[in-house]
Chain A
Amino acid sequence: MTVTAVVEDSRPVGRSLTANRLPKWAPAAVAVGSIALGCGIGAAAGLASHLQWGLLSAALFLLISYGLSARVEGRRQAKDRFATSVVWVAFILAVVPLVALTVYTVQQGMDVVNGNFLSHSMKGVLQSGPGGGIYHALIGTLEQVGLATAIAAPIGLLTAVYLVEYGRGKLAKAVTFFVDVMTGIPSIVAGLFILSVWNLALGFGYSGFSGSLALAILMMPVVVRSTEEMLKLVPNELREASYALGVPKWKTILRIVLPTAIGGITTGVMLAVARITGETAPVMMLVFGADYINNNPFDGPQQSLPMYIWTQYSQVNNDFGYARAWGAALVLIAFVMGLNLVARGIARWRSPKSGH
């Protein structure tokens, strides 16, 4: 290829070692060109869905950039360009639905969410009409998630302490393995388990607390894993210094190890809370759902945000229901993402300085 380059170009001999390259703006130009072409074909062929337009453009982009590069730069470079193009297309493929989801939720939800929506329940609201709100669902979600955290956080924390500070031998290995496996339990299975134990075998009725038990099962392994990682980051010198001063192990853990890692632990717990806040399936089975405000999580059905969305979508199933569902979805996303942002902020602010 260098030979032909020399023949074709009148370049000085010294530069014949560098192969032909596409100019730097080539990928951008190809991208613009293929998007235009893709949309053109889409419009010309009368394809209704913009999904097709996008897919066409992506395919054209890959083909053109490979072809062009193969012609000018040779096969190896063409493959490299092709890989780069594929990676960029993957990036855009991922961004599109995720951005679409967020934007669409905000768009749909903004019209619905207002003071009235946040401060009223669905009691006495006609399902076929407008109005009503999510106050009862907010109360339910906060209480259920709070109870679940109160159960799962201490157990998770202690388990992580066991694994990092005490755990040796077969028991620790088994616990580690099953904690990992437990993170993968489908939420509906956790719901079924609590249903069979708490409601069927022990005879308790539907209540917010019974939902919290299932949520706690889902939360525990996540807390254990993240706390474990954080405790491992605490430098051993700190522990040894404490032992050298004659402080017993349990006090070292409580006074030195845990406070050092508290930032990361808080982050882990908050991320776990964010995860269980959105769980629908177990709540649906165990909390049952209600239109009215029930402040007592230990007695009688409650409502929760995810379940409210489900009810408004599947049972009310009209435009007013959809609108309320979007409103609740916006509140739920805002809550979960807010929790995530705060958690990561804490992680950055109070992360233990690793190493020496």
Chain B
Amino acid sequence: MTSSSPAAPQGRERRTRDSRVGDKIFMNLARGSGILLLVIMAAIAGFLAWRSGLALSNNQGNFLTTFEWAPDAPKPVFGIPVLVVGTIVSAVIAMAIAVPVAIGIALFISHYAPRRIAQPFAYLVDLLAAVPSIVYGLWGALFLVPHMDGLTSWLNEYLGWTYIFDQTKSGTPRNLFTVGILLAIMVLPIITAVTREVFRQVPRMHEEAALALGATRWEMIRTAVLPFGRPGIISASMLGLGRALGETIAVAVVLSSSNVLSLHILDAGGGTFAQNIALKFAEAGDSGRNALMASGLVLFVITLLVNGAARLIIARRKEYSGANA
């Protein structure tokens, strides 16, 4: 580290001292910003918890069982079960559609498509990850919703006996099912991008060994590619799940919400955490804002757990980074 040039002793000493000071300043700056990020994370949790505490101490209902959301009433009453169910249901629908399709697309890009199509298509998928959610929302409300009528009545007719696909109220399909489909389209590029990277890293030797033993392409994929890619697929799905859980504005645009708890996913109604915050925020008073922060804290903790789990699964293989997706 010290200067080794044959300069005069005084000069060398001064330069060494300078560089030590510079090093110290620079290192502390760098470390400081790292610490700042940790502080921000802690502050988010802390401030939301503080506000939530204020809200919960005034709540006349039960936060975990009350369906109503009226935190600004003289006797504030609010609870999250409708939001919990709505958030989980829409995210589950999104995952059920998006994960298999994303694996298919990733396989298409990495193993099936002719190279000339694969590269531009991979590129296209990456670009679509950048389309803002408000545009997805606008498209969902003005294009997707009118086109969902047929599918909705179809599901109701043939799968109505399953209870969840039973449509009990008529009306435009601004329901959790449509929201789920829209979320699936939105998280598709993210899941695809990560899964594709994992599939690309499958050792060539494994694939060639499978093929040499007479496996068909599908058998090769099932025995060599998918087992190797499983942790990657899981964590990619969880990253997508995190997005779907926290998606705000697209859901707020498409869903026609209510505080009715119902598992009939083709009926309009219900709500999600993020959508509820976006919608109720404008007319919320002090108590209302605190209540919304309480629900925001729950959402924060859920996404934290989901993302943390995804990272722990992925930790063994550092290369798959979702942030680059």
The answer, yes or no, to whether B213 is at the interface (CB within 8 Å) is: no
Bound CA–CA A284/B304 (angstroms) = 23
CA distance A222 to B135 in the complex (A): 22
Contact with B along A169-190 (1 / 0, CB 8 A): 0011011011111111111111
- Contact present for B135 and A80 (CB under 8 Å): no
Bound: A161/B27 CA distance, A: 9
Q: Which of B64-72, B261-269, B293-301 contacts A (4 or more CB under 8 A)?
A: B293-301
Binds B, one of A5-13, A117-125, A293-301, A329-337: A329-337
A91 touches B248 (CB 8 A): no
A80 touches B134 (CB 8 A): no
Report Cα–Cα, A84/B249, bound state, in Å: 36
8 Å CB interface, A221-268 against B? 221-222, 224-226, 229, 243, 246, 248-251, 253-254
Decide: B48 and A192 in contact? CB cutoff 8 A: yes
A91 adjacent to B147 (CB under 8 Å): no
Q: Is B107 an interface residue, CB under 8 A from the partner?
A: yes
Q: Is the CB of A306 within 8 A of B134?
A: yes
Chain A residues with Cβ below 8 Å from B218 are 79-80, 82-84
CA distance A217 to B300 in the complex (A): 14
* Inter-chain contacts of B101 with A (CB < 8 A): 90, 93-94
A-binding segment of B2-10, B73-81, B163-171, B200-208: B2-10
CB neighbors of B among A146-185 (8 A): 154-156, 158-159, 161-163, 165-167, 171-172, 174-175, 177-185
Closest to B181 in A: A97
A88, B135: Cβ atoms under 8 Å? no
Chain A contact residues: over half helix, strand or loop, or mixed? helix
A127 at the interface (CB under 8 A from B): no
Asked whether B104 lies within 8 Å of A178 as measured between CB atoms, the reply is: no
Kindly list chain B residues whose C-beta atoms are within 8 Å of the C-beta of A287. none
A21 on the B face (CB < 8 A): no
Most buried by B among A47, A83, A189: A189
Bound Cα distance from A190 to B274, whole angstroms: 11
Residue A197 is within 8 A (CB to CB) of chain B in the complex: yes
The distance in angstroms between the C-alpha atoms of A196 and B293, with both chains bound, is 9
Q: Of the candidates B23, B37, B104, B135, which one forms a contact with A248 in the assembled complex, judged by CB atoms under 8 Å apart?
A: B23
B288 within 8 A of partner (CB): no
Is A76's CB within 8 Å of the partner chain B?
yes
Which residues from B are CB-within-8-Å of A229? 321, 324
Contact of A188 with B246 at beta-carbon distance under 8 Å, contacts A77-B216, A180-B307 already known: yes
The 0/1 profile, CB within 8 Å of A marked 1, for residues 34-52 of chain B is 1111101101100110110
A residues near B18, Cβ cutoff 8 Å: 248
Residues of B within 8 A of A177 (CB): 308, 311
- Is A193 an interface residue, CB under 8 A from the partner? yes
From 328 to 356 in chain A, residues with beta carbon under 8 angstroms from any chain B beta carbon are 329, 332-333, 336-337, 340-341, 344
Asked whether A278 lies within 8 Å of B135 as measured between CB atoms, the reply is yes
B323 within 8 A of A: yes
Q: How many A-B residue pairs have CB under 8 A?
A: 303
Contacts of B234 in A (CB 8 A): none
Contact B142 A88 (CB under 8 A): no
Residue of A nearest to B41 (CB): A178
Partner among A51, A156, A187, A217 whose Cβ is within 8 Å of the Cβ of B246: A187
Q: Are A159 and B33 neighbours in the complex by a CB distance under 8 Å?
A: yes
- Judge whether B5 and A246 touch: CB under 8 Å: yes
Interface size class of A (residues with CB under 8 A): 35 or more
A290 interface hit (Cβ, 8 Å): no
**Interface contact B108-A88, CB-CB below 8 Å:** yes
Instruction: Give which listed residue, A49, A100, A344, contacts B151 with CB less than 8 A.
Output: A49
| Interface residue from A55, A93, A178, A225 paired with B321 (Cβ < 8 Å) | A225
Given A84-B218, A184-B306, A171:B35 Cβ within 8 A:
yes
Q: Does B232 contact A (CB under 8 A)?
A: no
Complex Cα gap A77–B218 (Å): 9
Q: In chain A, what residue has the closest Cβ to B103?
A: A90
Contact present for A175 and B150 (CB under 8 Å): no
Whether B34 pairs with A250 at a CB distance below 8 angstroms is no
Q: Known interface pairs A79-B216, A250-B22, A333-B135. Does A87 touch B104 (Cβ–Cβ under 8 Å)? A: yes
CB distance from B96 to the nearest CB of A (A): 14
Q: Which of B1, B150, B188, B299 contacts A189 (CB 8 A)?
A: B299
Looking at the complex, which one of B41, B192, B293 makes contact with A192 (CB distance below 8 Å)?
Answer: B293
- Contacts A93-B101, A162-B31 given; does A251 touch B150 at CB 8 Å: no
In contact, B243 and A184 (Cβ under 8 angstroms): yes
Residues of A near B22 (CB, < 8 A) are 248, 250-251
Which listed residue, A90, A161, A186, A332, touches B135 by the CB 8 Å rule? Answer: A332
User: How far does the alpha carbon of A88 sit from the alpha carbon of B218 in the complex, in Å?
Assistant: 13
**How far, in Å, is A20 (CB) from chain B's closest CB?**
15
Residues A51 and B134 in contact, CB atoms below 8 Å apart: no
Q: Is the CB of B105 within 8 A of A181?
A: no
Q: A181-B308, A183-B307, A189-B44 are in contact. Are A314 and B253 (CB under 8 A)?
A: yes
Between A and B, 19 residue pairs with Cβ closer than 8 Å are A91-B104, A98-B125, A101-B135, A104-B143, A156-B33, A159-B30, A171-B34, A175-B38, A183-B323, A184-B246, A225-B321, A225-B324, A246-B3, A250-B23, A280-B248, A281-B274, A333-B132, A333-B135, A336-B132
| 7 tightest Cβ-Cβ pairs between the two chains A and B | A278-B132, A90-B104, A186-B246, A49-B150, A225-B323, A248-B19, A184-B307
Q: A93-B104, A249-B1, A284-B281 are in contact. List 4 more A-B contacts (CB 8 A).
A: A155-B37, A184-B239, A184-B310, A188-B299
**A residues at B contact (CB < 8 Å):** 47-52, 55, 76-77, 79-80, 82-84, 86-91, 93-94, 97-98, 100-102, 104-105, 154-156, 158-159, 161-163, 165-167, 171-172, 174-175, 177-190, 192-193, 195-197, 200-201, 217, 220-222, 224-226, 229, 243, 246, 248-251, 253-254, 271, 274-275, 277-281, 284-285, 306, 309-310, 313-314, 322, 325-326, 329, 332-333, 336-337, 340-341, 344
